[in-house]
Amino acid sequence: MRAGPQKQPKEIEAKRIKGIANFRMGRFSYAEQELRETLDRNPDDIASRCYLILAYLRQGKSGEAKRELANAVSVRKNFHEAFLIFSGICQKEKRLKEGIEMCTLTIEEKGETPFLLIEMGKLYSAKGANRKAEESFKRALKLDEDYIPAYLSLGLLFQGRGDHAGAISMYGKALRTDPQSLRASILLANSYMKIADTGEAMAVYEESLKLHPDCPEILNNLAYLYIEREGRMDEALDLSLRARELDPGNPAILDTLGWIYYKNGNYKKGVALLERSDRIRPSNPDTLYHLGMAYYRAGNMESAQDALKKALKIGPHSGWSMEARKVLTGIKGE
């Protein structure tokens, strides 16, 4: 008698897995049946509800899809959260057409809102329909000129097509609208880095650090700028150590700290940190270059050669590529 209840969660999960598998194979009516049975037993399963919405849409059952979205909202008690989960699954499963259709149906029912327009724009962008994405983002701004996600979404869209000036303009407007926006600060500084304006990037990071003193990403990126562009060794080390304390397993932070130790002449510590970064995030060309240089200075020529060759294979046109080739030539000549 006691075995039955113990098996039930496994049976529910098996139904769920089978329903999603049927959906992915295009067997939408079977997916609907399995997911419906899953939800009868576990009505709080928001992911199954989202897949069921997609199955309904694929069968042209828009009314059922809208009702199921309402059910998802009632489970989550938050429309935005429920819709974000649905939109995320659409992007994961490459069901962008269905996601856009659900946005359209919801807008027809509830009217345009900045949130829905942003989600529709993101789906258009993922589909490669950048003009329609831009239109959606701009319509969101017309509804609410202070809506930060619209500025950030436009910035990312411009950045993706190489319009760094346009991206900087959007991120700047977002930051002026909300000076506390951490994401706007980081995106703006990174955009300045892409056009090699390190002075502006540092200014943004330094100002943001005053508001977000415990943000590992800002601490790390500012430390890297200090060591690479300013030669401010002590300040860079202090920032990098604080970043590692806050996020000890972050490979980007380990890379920066290892590079700082390399620059300080502590090659043993540098190698250890850079090796750990490479294990966590393999095949990153910058880390491989840093690791190769640290090996070289530590006297491990074989490992240096291996790391630098890998770095050049992945990032042949990186800013450090000339130095890497010079070191490799020197190793071969020894």
Instruction: Round to whole Å and give the CA distance between 74 and 76.
Output: 6
State the Rg of the chain over Cα.
25
- The DSSP letter of residue 145 is T
pLDDT along the chain (334 residues), means of 10: 52 87 88 90 87 89 86 82 87 90 90 94 95 97 96 97 96 96 96 94 96 95 92 94 96 97 96 97 96 97 96 95 95 73
Rounded CA-CA distance 325/304 in Å is: 12
pLDDT computed for residue 4 by the predictor: 43
Of the candidates 258, 267, 266, the one whose C-alpha atom is nearest the C-alpha of residue 296 is 267
Query: Is the pTM for the entire model greater than 0.85?
Result: no
Distance CA 69, CA 58 (A): 15
Confirm if 178 and 184 have CB atoms less than 8 A apart.
yes
Q: Which amino acid is at 214?
A: D
Rounded to whole angstroms, the Cα distance separating 196 from 232 reads 19
Would you give the DSSP letter of residue 42?
-
The residue type at 244: R
Which stretch of DSSP H or E encloses residue 282? none
Residue 222, in any domain of the structure: yes
CA dihedral 226, 281, 315, 303 (to 10 degrees): 90
Residue with tokens 């869209």: 157
Work out the angle between the directed axes of helices 198-211 and 216-225 (0-180°, nearest 10).
150
Cβ atoms of residues 292 and 286 within 8 Å: no
Tokens 């130095």, residue located: 323
Number of neighbours of residue 28 by Cβ within 10 angstroms = 18
Distance of alpha carbon 123 from alpha carbon 97, whole angstroms: 8
d(CA 150, CA 87): 17
In a domain, 239, yes or no: yes
In a domain, 315, yes or no: yes
Residue 153 resides in a domain = no
The pair phi, psi for residue 299, each rounded to 5°, is 90, 10
Query: Does residue 159 fall inside a structural domain?
Result: no
- In a domain, residue 190? The reply is no
Tell which residue, 129, 63, 50, 67, has the closest CA to residue 97.
Answer: 129
Maximum CA extent, the chain: 77
Is 30 inside a domain boundary? no
Distance, in Å, from the CA atom of 334 to the CA atom of 153, rounded to the nearest integer, reads: 52
Residue 117 belongs to a domain:
no
> What six digits make up the tokens of 29?
């009516």
Write out the residue range of the structural domain in which residue 237 sits. 215-334
Query: 232: domain CATH number?
Result: 1.25.40.10
Overall number of domains in the chain: 1
Cα–Cα distance, 329 to 331 (Å, whole number): 5
226 secondary structure, DSSP code:
I
Half-sphere exposure for 329 (CA within 13 Å, toward CB) = 6
